[in-house]
A = this chain, B = another copy of it.
Amino acid sequence: MSAHSGEPAVAAAETAGKESGRAASKTRLRLWLRILKTSRLIETEVREKLREEFDSTLPRFDVMAALYRVETGLRMSDLSSELRVSNGNVTGIVDRLVSDGLIVRVPVDNDRRATIVRLTNAGRELFQRMAVKHESWVDEILGGLSTAEATRLMATLDAAVRPLEDNESE
């Protein structure tokens, strides 16, 4: 996605209520495009660094980050719901991390359907190094923002989509 939009949308008149109307709608559309652009910009940067410096990817990093936080490991389903990606997706990423020796699958005692996934020592050690770099990349990219600005931005973003987050855990 990048910059779409196209035509007016709700041509009909709007009363007033909170804040509807064509102008507001257009502004929100522009905001969304800006959010997306910003996100992609940073994401591309991080992805590239991850590839260059660690020959790794963002999804791999995300899986490792989730596992890093829970030393005892996570079930596949916990992993996919925490990362908010599909089950089958996690299967593939985990397969590759396993074959790289960074994580292991271990069976669950009471439930023969389930599997727990855990970082190996090598995985834990690698992730630590990646996390340090990751933080410094982001710090550099967003370095133009003061802590106050960053905090305010977070709060507003939070408010922007709170209604959508009922189905979330964190």
Residues in A lying within 8 Å of B, measured CB to CB: 1-7, 9-10, 18-20, 23-32, 34-36, 38-45, 58-59, 61-62, 64-66, 68-69, 82-84, 127-128, 131-132, 134-136, 138-139, 141-147, 149-154, 156-165, 170
Q: Are B25 and A139 interface neighbours, CB within 8 A?
A: yes
Q: Are B35 and A158 interface neighbours, CB within 8 A?
A: no
Partner of A135, one of B9, B34, B69, B170: B9
Interface of A (DSSP majority class) = helix
Q: Are B28 and A142 interface neighbours, CB within 8 A?
A: yes
List of B residues within 8 angstroms of A157 by Cβ? 34-35, 38, 153
List of B residues within 8 angstroms of A144 by Cβ? 159-163
Q: Are B42 and A32 interface neighbours, CB within 8 A?
A: yes
Q: A54 CB to closest chain B CB, in angstroms? A: 13
* In the complex, residue of chain B having the shortest beta-carbon distance to the beta carbon of A2: B83
State in angstroms the CA–CA spacing of A83 and B44 once bound together.
13
Q: A166 CB to closest chain B CB, in angstroms? A: 11
List of B residues within 8 angstroms of A61 by Cβ? 1, 4
* In the complex, residue of chain B having the shortest beta-carbon distance to the beta carbon of A25: B139
Partner of A145, one of B31, B40, B136, B152: B31
Partner of A25, one of B64, B135, B160: B135
Partner of A31, one of B132, B154, B161, B162: B154
